[in-house]
Amino acid sequence: MRYWTSFQRTTVNRLIYLTPYFLVIISLYLFGTLPWYLSILAIPFAMYLFVPGPIGKLLFGGQPDFVKSPLALSILHSVVFFIILHWMKMLPYIGFLYFENILFAFIAIIACSTLLMATFADPGYLRKTVDQDERRRIVLELAEMGKLDARNFCITCSIRKPLRSKHCRVCDRCVAKFDHHCPWSYNCIGVGNHRSFLIFTFGLSSGCWMFSYLAYYYFSVSAPSDTAIPASCPLSTTLCSWSTYDPPVFSLVVFALLNSIWIFYLFLFHVYQISMVNLTTNELANRHRLAYLTHPDDAHLPAFRRRKINPFNLGPWKNCLDFWFDGVVLKDVSWFNIYEIPARLDRWSK
């Protein structure tokens, strides 16, 4: 990645992290001052200037690479920050909703803490091999076993890849029980932080719904009935009066509700793959290419003709126990140093 010569990588990432905070402020201001049809055009244009446009090209020397930057993480942080800030602004009007406000505060604390855990926790990085003799030994052992290939040996980390691990191109590290690289947490999701990530997705979607619920009471209590409604507003009379009375809160509610749909779907998807199949996202996406998830008798067949197997599916109850509690179901199994399917799970080898 080639940066502008005046900036170091750390400085660039700091500037990129701060950018969404200014974008949210600009977006809320434009939504409150411009007609809706102009703000819809102006907000994406402002985002273009700061992200893939001239400012982004200036920072990255003409080669924007935001996948390796904290941009997505900062977007999430900034939106959550302004949602909590505007919730505090609404408190004098909705303070009578004791239980609902306490519940929202609890959900916000859980969502923020689990996001920090998913971001800063070790996802399961595998130690790189730096010693030349150890590297040579690993290569010779794999060559003798006929397994010196990309599925068993990582050239970048110079290690034998454990079962269910994968090298992340973004983090440039091998991760044990790799699920996926998440730009929203600016980290890989693996054996070390998958549980935090799952709780975070549920907490974030729940927080979006609770904020919208509280905002409904805020508008119902505080918005005057004689609010002047712009003639260009395409919504109902009530929604138009709310958007005119407090545009920032109204726009945050719309943004939160829209994003809660895909966030909750992401949560349900992970719940399904954990409880029903006990496979990672990477394994579901590449199941036809992974030897340990295809029948051993079909190794000579094309990938699309191989029969699919799943040695890790122990049933919904045991799958959940295996995910939430290490060593309860699969005792003495560490995804950091296991290279073959445990004998008690291998029902297909002869």
Residue 11: partners with Cβ closer than 8 Å, 6 or more residues away = none
Handedness of CA 218, 221, 226, 231 (dihedral sign): positive
Catalytic residue among 182, 188, 208, 240: 182
Count of other CB atoms within 10 angstroms of residue 324: 11
Task: Round to whole Å and give the CA distance between 114 and 291.
Answer: 34
174 is catalytic: no
Using CB atoms within 10 A of its CB, is residue 325 exposed (0-12), middle (13-18) or buried (19+)?
exposed
Q: If you search the block for the tokens 């730096």, which residue do you land on?
A: 130
SS3 94: helix
Instruction: Check: CB of residue 246 under 8 Å from CB of residue 240.
Output: no
CA diameter of the chain: 82
Using CB atoms within 10 A of its CB, is residue 144 exposed (0-12), middle (13-18) or buried (19+)?
exposed
Task: Round to whole Å and give the CA distance between 23 and 44.
Answer: 10
Catalytic residues: 182
